[in-house]
Homo-oligomer: A and B are copies of this chain.
Amino acid sequence: MKVTMKDIATEAKVSVATVSHVINGTKKISEEKYNSIMQIIEKYNYIPNSTAKNLRQMKTKTAGLVVSSFPDSFVTEMINGVEARARDAGYNLFLVNTNEDKKYEEETINLLYSKMVDGIILSPTSTDIGYLERFVHNGFPMVLVNRQDYNMKSIPRVTGDNYQTGYDATKHLLQHGHQKIGFIYAVRHVTTTDDRIRGYKDALKEANIPFNESYLEAGYATVNGGINAIQSLIKRESDITALFIQNDLMTIGSISMLRELNIKIPEDIAIIGFGDFASAPIIEPPVTNIVLPPETIGKTAFDVLLNKINNPNYEKNIELPPTLITRKSCGC
């Protein structure tokens, strides 16, 4: 049914080796045979089977991108960055969303490995990724993106500087007189959150303000997650005067709930969100965000992976600095 190289060879009355050489330009072939083979290839629309090629050559020009959540705009743009670079490099990308499911993440890595991807870019679900050790040990190219794990020093990482992100946002609010600053996040025990919390704490400490665990609030990374987080946080800590929210959808949900509660932004509560989502400038009030460059992170991650693939000894960690985009919602 499906036409193979052998079919082409038979019809052209040459060996499959010759056909292969014609296709790959690996050996000089007489013009006569070259033309005849090419013509037959055209005639049948023959497309070589890469799986066979990959098996033989032990590489696939394929990479895996494993993210832990999805319709968050930061992750989307990051994916876009990885995809863009992959395309330029002639790589195909397996995209998998683990949905913060650690077990599924491990299965996925195994599966992608078994599919012989040349490497994997992973945004891990937890900091408990010791299971990657054996892949590292095998020389399997991986890079951590966005999130990382401080124990796995052996895997290159490309992230934003989340500590600085937490520090800068908090400092900015402190400078404008806020002392009771709520912190709304989606997932704990990932470095994106934990590092920002460290930055938050250090900024507080510098200002001699005691850290209050009760000002932290968790929620799902969705609009409703933001709504619920506000409800429970405000009920518990009604004297909060500022919020630092770690995700665009939660920020949107929070704003909507604050309005419903008749709490004015920024007069009653100032807000700093995370990530420069498209609608931020046109929301009333326009939303101040601290941002890390997701597309650059994605692109860089792929570049690093490519380097790691081509040179197993490549070692480089990249941490990109945050930028504060000041608008009205933080009251300055």
Chain A interface (Cβ < 8 Å from any Cβ of B):
1-2, 45, 47-52, 54-55, 60, 62, 70-71, 73, 76-77, 79-80, 83-84, 87, 92-97, 104, 110-116, 134, 138-139, 223, 248-249, 252, 255-256, 259, 277-279, 281-284
Contact = CB atoms under 8 A, between A and B. Distances in A.
10 contacts: A47-B114, A49-B55, A51-B115, A54-B115, A62-B94, A71-B77, A79-B95, A83-B97, A94-B94, A282-B283
Contact of A114 (B48, B279, B283): B48
Contacts of A248: 278
A73 B52 CA distance: 37
Contacts of A278: 223, 248-249, 252, 279
Contacts of A47: 110, 113-114
A114 B53 CA distance: 10
A95 B97 contact: no
Contacts of A73: 71
Given A93-B96, A279-B252, A55 B51 contact: yes
Interface pairs A-B: 8 shortest CB-CB: A279-B279, A95-B95, A284-B284, A50-B114, A51-B116, A50-B115, A47-B114, A51-B55
A49 B249 contact: no
A223 B62 CA distance: 32
Contacts of A80: 70-71, 97
Which of A70, A116, A248, A279 has the most chain B CB atoms inside 10 A of its CB? Answer: A279
A289 B62 CA distance: 39
A127 to B, nearest CB: 22
Given A92-B115, A283-B279, A51 B45 contact: no
Contact of A54 (B51, B79, B223, B255): B51
Which of A50, A97, A281, A282 has the most chain B CB atoms inside 10 A of its CB? Answer: A282
A261 to B, nearest CB: 14
